[in-house]
Amino acid sequence: MKKAIGLVLVVCCVSTLVMAETSGDKEADRKDADPAVSRQRPEGAPRVSPGRRGDPRSRQQAYQEMLEKRGAAHKKAIAELEAIKKIAEDEDAKRTVEALQKMIDKKSAEFKQRMEQFESQRRERSKQLQQRTNGRPQRNRPAEKAEEKAPEEK
């Protein structure tokens, strides 16, 4: 009985540490980024609106990297829980094994749901952007504007 209670406490501590580590990474990323530096553009660089940074390939690459990072963090957390579950199985702590399996299943379902929601939001934003850009008239290039003004001045 004491072993089972101890194992449950270990599971709680590890899951708390995993959750703290994943949220700590987000906070550390925010703290590391110097807002004054990140908002400055290099001298002579064109002004770009926030939604238009980089070319589509670099945005797609950044999106893929973000997905891989989230997936790796999830796999790491699940691997830690699986390791604890194996220890519980070795000690014949059936209720602890069941509780750990439920926790693993719950975390996996939540992760899958978040990824599906994230992807649907991305598709929706892409669709809205496409609709907005399809409705706009084509912009004149600066060279064309100069050519248009020249005949008017004569």
Structure token pair of residue 108: 């996996």
Average pLDDT for 15-26: 67
Residue 77 burial by CB count (10 A; 0-12/13-18/19+): exposed, middle or buried?
buried
pLDDT tens digits along 55-69 = 767 888 888 898 999
User: Measuring CA to CA, how many Å separate 39 from each of 25, 42, 50, 152?
Assistant: 21, 10, 10, 41
Q: State residue 102's pLDDT score.
A: 96
Sequence ranges of the domains in the chain: 2-33+55-132
pTM of the complete model: 0.52
pLDDT tens digits along 124-141 = 988 888 888 887 766 666
Q: State residue 60's pLDDT score.
A: 82
Question: Interior CA angle at 67 toward 52 and 46, to 5°?
Answer: 15
